[in-house]
Amino acid sequence: MCLNKSASVIELAQVGEPCSGIPFVLRRTSPKRLLTSGLQRAYNARSIFEGNPTPVSSPAESLLTIRDYLRYATTCFASAPLYYGHGTDNPWDEAVQLVMRSLQLPLENNTVFLDARLTAEERTQLAERIRLRVEQRMPVAYLVGEAWFMGMPFKVDERVLVPRSPLSELLENGLQPWLGDRSVDRVLDLCTGSGCIGIAAATVFEDAEVVLSDLSSDALVVAQENIDRYELGERVTAVASDVFDQVTGCFDVILSNPPYVDAQDIAAMPEEYRHEPMLGLAAGDDGLDIAHRILAGAKAHLNPGGLLIVEVGNSWVALEDAYPELPFTWLEFESGGHGVFLLTREDLEQAGL
């Protein structure tokens, strides 16, 4: 091969695995500039031809704009064995969620920001969060400290599950058609976690008192922060309770997304879910440890005509087998989701529960 001495020299630097936090960099530099920029650049050029690439310490050095980071994150996510189960289902949406919300920018109508240059601090933070998503499989919600439920942002961290219940669709429709014309004065969100279900219910039923209950004191701290965020302290309270143990009074609606993952699914679940508190996931061999207690105690806490709505996910088959006497109504969702049942107080009473 013949080299023209006046031609440009291409430096290609690659270190580590793709998306490990060290990018591929392609630079076209004239020989004259190599000679005048000092010994270090000359060494870099020689290293390329000798097979010793020059290291680049961080993508923050070469990625400058929001558009750059959206592209880089999408490539990293698409190249890694990630699981999408916390609000998105593809690398692009995951990248948009991470990048835009890390910068406190809107998820929609945001094209005006795409070519904005980022500060060094912002670039470093984004590069680190992308690395953690890929290398540690950490959910984006924990990286940005936020998840959305029923169109509302909620604070989340590793003390609570990432909200993803299909109950949001049910609440958006005001629990219709099952609620009918009955009024809702009291709502219980059992096993509340971040409080998202109960707080969303409070925005739908604007005159209702809402109680959020959870066994985890850590989860209740997060739930209280979300109550305060929406300034609902006059109507929404957080209570420490092991299922119904410390819950008092009766309710028109009991909503619950309790632990319901069975032992087989726990063993097989993706790494992303292992960042979540096991207390909010595992429920025995068949996933029904908490569901049994909810069914046993719900009647005593429901007003006449009251609704019990509980998500049990993949454990719905085992639940039906365990209670052949109960007329479960299994709800369907346009936006996806399954394993959510509805019963009335009268259903429970007739079944002898």
pLDDT number for residue 337? 86
d(CA 57, CA 55): 6
Q: Show me where the domains of the chain are located.
A: 9-57, 62-144, 146-350
Looking at residue 248, the DSSP 8-state letter turns out to be -
pTM: 0.81
Tokens of 79: 């190249």
Strands 302-311 vs 340-344: parallel, antiparallel or unpaired: antiparallel
pLDDT number for residue 57? 53
pLDDT number for residue 168? 94
The contacts found for 265-272 with CB under 8 angstroms, 24 or more apart, are 265/314, 270/83, 270/85, 270/137, 271/83, 271/137, 272/82, 272/83, 272/85, 272/86, 272/137, 272/138, 272/139
What does 178-243 look like in DSSP terms, one character per residue?
A: TSTT----EEEEES-TTSHHHHHHHHHSTT-EEEEEES-HHHHHHHHHHHHHTT-TTTEEEEE-ST
pLDDT number for residue 155? 97
pLDDT number for residue 59? 78
> What residues in the chain have per-residue pLDDT under 50?
1-18, 20-56
Specify the length of the chain in residues. Answer: 353
The DSSP bridge partners found for residue 209 are 186
Q: What is the dihedral of CA 60, 61, 62, 66, to 10 degrees?
A: 30
Helix (H, G, I), strand (E, B), or coil: what is residue 11? Answer: strand
pLDDT number for residue 312? 95
What letter represents residue 13's amino acid?
Answer: A
d(CA 80, CA 83): 9
Cα separation values, 106 from 11, 17, 209, Å:
38, 32, 31
Range list of β-strands (E), 50-164: 146-149, 152-155
pLDDT number for residue 335? 84
251-256 sheet: strands from edge to edge: 236-240, 209-214, 186-190, 251-256, 302-311, 340-344, 329-330
pLDDT number for residue 27? 38
d(CA 295, CA 328): 12
Tokens of 65: 């704009």
Fold entry, domain 146-350: Rossmann fold (3.40.50)
